[in-house]
Amino acid sequence: MDLLAYVADDDKNWLWGLISGTCGLICTLGTLILFIAALVSIIKADRLTTAAKILWAVVAFAFPFIGSLAWFFWGKNNQDKLSF
């Protein structure tokens, strides 16, 4: 009887592992895509000087998720104000 309970519990753990692993993979890929898109956008920004591009790239590398979001919500829209 205990063996059946153990096997049933193991099946649930496997399913939760699959679900959490899939969610983790989706979040990781989403962050990677956001990071790459931010770097490409930073490089293509015409109004930024080279120093400002390097600064934004360092922020994106240091904080891949938050730095990329900051670029898209704050830096990209205010390029003329942030040029050195």
Quote the pLDDT of residue 79.
52
16 Rama sector, left if φ>0, alpha if ψ -120 to 50, beta otherwise: alpha
In whole angstroms, give the CA distance from residue 67 to residue 60.
4
Using one digit for the tens of pLDDT, what is the confidence trace for 28-62?
999 999 999 999 999 999 888 999 999 999 999 99
pTM over 0.85? The answer is no
User: Encoding tokens for residue 54?
Assistant: 């390097």
Residues 59-82: what's their mean pLDDT?
84
